[in-house]
A = this chain, B = another copy of it.
Amino acid sequence: MMSDSRVSSVIQEWVSSYPGQPHTHSHTQTLNPTTSNMAGSTNQLTPMDMISYSQSQGLVRGGGEDRVAEQMMGMSYLPYTSPCLSNNSSAGSTNHHQSHINTQQDFSPFLLPTLRAPVTKRSISKDSAEYRMRRERNNIAVRKSRDKARRRILLTQQRAMQLQEENQKLQMRIGQLTQELDTLKHILSQRHQQGTEDGGAGESTL
């Protein structure tokens, strides 16, 4: 109805900012054992949070495998000893040079008796001009993406505030209308009573 005119620009923008709701695929990750990390200390965080989380944000992917499991469990930021080892090379991610191998699947547990043997990796060598090129492009994409996300969040906040305002106004309006209605009803009721008593007609001017 007339509501359209009430929606302000912020809302409009916001709407366009959510083309099609989060995917909610079936996430793929493997949540493999590695570093099961039972860490010990529990830590609160209702499981509920996780649910909605993974849903809206859509699949938690790749990144820190183990983390996934953790997060799924609602156990986030816990001590969490690094997957490979505590401090030495390429613990978590990082480890540039050697190669992209170890982080991900972390085959080491099985195939590498000693330490990782990054060797044998077809090195895209960080030196490679191409590598740098890719990295640079990705960095740009990342910045862009985050910028977008920030704006989206901002819009959502504004939208929420705006809706809240609107809501209050509507509530007020309802209050007015309700009161007015009560008044009229009361009047009618009296008239009716009068009419009944008098048997005649008593009307108001309103």
A residues near B (Cβ < 8 Å) are 1, 3, 6, 14, 30, 33, 35, 45, 49, 52-53, 56-57, 67, 71, 76-80, 82, 86-99, 126-129, 131-132, 135-136, 140-144, 147, 150-151, 153-154, 156-160, 163-164, 166-168, 170-171, 173-175, 177-178, 180-181, 183-196, 198, 200-206
> In the bound complex, what is the Cα–Cα distance between A94 and B100 (angstroms)?
12
Dominant secondary structure at the A interface: helix
Contact B95 A89 (CB under 8 A): no
| A–B pairs, 7, beta carbons within 8 Å | A78-B140, A82-B136, A90-B126, A94-B94, A94-B96, A173-B174, A204-B204
Instruction: Given A178-B177, A191-B191, A191-B201, verify A183-B171 contact (CB < 8 Å).
Output: no
Instruction: Given A98-B90, A181-B180, verify A188-B204 contact (CB < 8 Å).
Output: yes
Given contacts A67-B143, A163-B163, 19 further A-B contacts (CB under 8 A): A35-B147, A45-B147, A53-B151, A71-B147, A76-B144, A77-B141, A77-B142, A78-B140, A79-B140, A80-B140, A82-B136, A89-B98, A92-B135, A93-B96, A187-B205, A200-B201, A200-B203, A202-B203, A204-B205
5 closest residue pairs by CB, A with B: A195-B203, A77-B143, A94-B96, A87-B132, A163-B163
